[in-house]
Structure 1
Amino acid sequence: MSKPRSLALPPRTRTYRLSTVRGEFAVLDTAADPHADGGRRGTVLLLPGYTGSKEDFLGLLGPLAEAGYRAVAVDGRGQYESPGPRGRAGYRRGALALDVVAQAAALGDGPVHLLGHSFGGLVARAAAERAPDAFLSLTLLASGPGRVARPQRIRVRALRVALAVASKEQVWRATRWLDSRGEEPGAGDPPELVGFLRRRWMRTRIAQLAGAGRLLLGDPDGTAALRELRELRMPVQLVYGDEETVWPVAELAAAAARTGARHTVIAGAGHSPNVSHPRELADLLTAFWAAPTAEENLLTSGNAVDARS
């Protein structure tokens, strides 16, 4: 679970429900800074991870807007402030992918850059596979085309079992104690952040948590799909911290080499560079998006770029 460091909205940020042909989705929509060098440079759609929400990108929205991008973070169906069905079928991979395609269209800016964090990366990849013309590029942030690491698979299985036999309140308390590593849960966090985390958990549908967990455990290897996107000349990037724990970093590096995706490692970052290193991440993303052609991205494909350089 990503934990934002602040709930303050960046300048020029609106909160509303984006109306699409697939329903309404809660968004944080940050307009590009009108004084940015080079003017407005495009739009990026940001998808959060498992047990997360659009607020996981609060630290990133401002730096992207300052660089001239409209940045829109969205709660997927059943996540936090977006409505969602109760049934299992509503959270299948294809349904979630169609939601993202509809979100991109509803923004009204033509093709957008697409970024998915962790579980959001699986959804982003599926959306790009389904409608490549809707997206200018694809970035998988702390997310891979392969299986998650074994400790995380065990954790996701345990969470799915717990949700089936216990109340959400009981599961919330148990996971908070586990995450605190023996300390008082939430110690050192401001009360408003603790309240937000609990509210987000309680408002996310059980069917969404179960469905997302199911996809994390059983998502097919997307290496071939990423390679096909590269053959369609879509710029693709894998970005993660050198302290990444959910996906094995060696496998992420290998996947980048096999698919021709750009491969970027952020020194000192863990599973949520969007929270811990937002400005470094924004610089890396905007450099990637500013590459004038898909061929230029090919020049760096398969080569790790260390964010310390």
Structure 2
Amino acid sequence: MSRPPTFTPPPCARATTLRTERGDFAVLDARPEGPVTATALLLPGFTGSKEDFIAMLKPLTDSGYRAVAIDGRGQYETPGPDSPGAYTQDALARDVLAQAAAVDAGPVHLLGHSLGGQISRAAVLLDPEPFRTLTLLSSGPARVTLDQREKVRLLSDALSVMGMDQVWDAMKALDPPEEAETDGAGLRARWLRHHPLQLTTTGHQLTVEPDRVEELAALRALPKHVVSGERDDTWPLPLLDAMAERLGADRTVIAGAEHSPNTDRPVKTSAAVSAFWDRH
């Protein structure tokens, strides 16, 4: 589970609703005090939310970027329907295209963390035109490792027979939220507002995702950036290194970070991301 340092946005950001042709999405919309260089969409990972980018928002706005962090359909403060079809990768990718149109900023920089990276990839493969660049943050070429597939299976099995509060209690016993740099109540509140069908459907996606690197590499006009921590148990670094090479992408490894550089080392991650955006 991603663990934001706080659930309170910085003064540069406001919690608001992004209204799109595919529905409303809860967002944190952070804007620089001066001129806006460009706008970026930030998509969280599995079990995550827009708050996973809170510590990156001020550094990004200090670099002149408007950053819009989004709760996807069924994530935290964006409601979702009781239908698995609402959470297919294609449906979520089409949501991203609608979000890019709704920020009304011309082509945007797109960044997706983990699951959000694979949804981002699907979106640009549907239509690359709304995007200036694509950054895959700790997001690999295909399905997650065997160990992670087993964890997703256990979570899905639990969600099929238990309520969200019961599953939280079971996870807490294995992975105490007190270890996070935030209060357990905030993490629990976020967990309880996720739609269980969103979790089971997108979790399954992570376990079966095919390798689509060649398709993405064919979009030669779209600059790409692969960013990760120096350790990752979801997609090992050799996989991410090879993916970047196949894509002809820029590659950045964030020292001192693991699967969530956005929360582990947000200032370093922001600097790497904004430098890439500056070049494009």
In the superposition, the TM-score normalised over structure 1's length comes to: 0.88
Q: Once the two structures are superposed, what CA deviation does each residue of 1:70-119 show, in whole Å capped at 9, x if it has no partner?
A: 00000000101001111111111110000000001000001100000011
Aligned to 1:159: 155
Shift in CA distance, 176/115, structure 1 to aligned 2, threshold 3 Å: same
Tell me what 2:210 maps to.
220
Q: 2:279 and 2:163 mapped to 1: Cα distance?
A: 49
Give the whole-Å Cα distance in 2 for the aligned partners of 1:188 and 1:115: 24
**Aligned residue pair count:** 280
Tell me what 2:252 maps to: 264
How do 1:63-212 residues align onto structure 2 when only pairs under 5 Å count? 63-180=59-176, 185-186=177-178, 190=182, 193-212=183-202
CA distance in 2, matches of 1:6, 1:206: 24
Corresponding residue of 1:7 = 7
Q: What is the CA–CA distance in structure 2 between the aligned matches of 1:87 and 1:282, rounded to whole Å?
A: 36
CA offsets 1:131-171 (integer angstroms, 9 cap, x no match): 10010000000101222111111101110111001121111
Deviations along 1:177-207, whole A, 9 cap, x unmatched? 2113xxxx526755xx321111111111011
Q: State TM-score, norm by structure 2.
A: 0.97
Question: Which of 232, 241, 250 is equivalent to 2:229?
Answer: 241
CA distance in 2, matches of 1:40, 1:217: 38
Q: Percent identical across equivalent pairs?
A: 49
Corresponding residue SS for 2:259: coil
Provide the C-alpha distance between the structure 2 equivalents of 1:264 and 1:109, rounded to a whole number of angstroms.
27
Please tell me whether residue 283 in structure 1 is matched to residue 271 in structure 2. yes
Change (3 A) 1:170 1:246: same
In structure 1, the partner of 2:50 is 54
Equivalent position amino acid for 2:13 in 1: T
**Distance in 2 separating the partners of 1:216 and 1:146:** 8
Q: Secondary structure at the match of 1:116?
A: strand
Superposed CA offset, 1:31-64 (max 9, x none): 1231xxxx42100000000001000000001100
SS at match of 2:8: coil
Aligned partner of residue 19 in structure 2, secondary structure: strand
Partner of 1:30: 30
CA apart distance, 1:8: 2.9
CA distance, structure 2, for counterparts of residue 195 and residue 150 of structure 1 = 31
Q: Tell me, what secondary structure is at the counterpart of 1:173?
A: helix
Cα pair 1:75 1:82 within 8 Å, conserved: yes
| Structure-2 separation of matches of 1:291 and 1:71 | 17
Structure 2: give runs of 5+ residues left out of the alignment.
none
**Which secondary structure does the structure 1 equivalent of 2:3 belong to?**
coil
User: Which structure would you say has the larger Rg?
Assistant: 1
Task: Report the 3-state secondary structure (helix = DSSP H, G, I; strand = E; otherwise coil) of the residue aligned with 1:24.
Answer: strand
Deviates most, 98-107 or 168-177: 168-177
Q: Does the Cα contact within 8 Å between 1:33 and 1:67 map onto a contact in 2?
A: no
What is the alpha-carbon distance in structure 1 between the residues aligned to residue 279 and residue 62 of structure 2?
18
Residues in 2 aligned to 1:42 and 1:280: alpha-carbon distance in whole angstroms: 20
Distance in structure 1 (CA, Å) of the matches to 2:246 and 2:225: 12
Of the two structures, which has the highest relative contact order with CA contacts closer than 8 Å and spacing of 6 or more? 2
Q: Superposition RMSD on alpha carbons, in Å?
A: 1.3
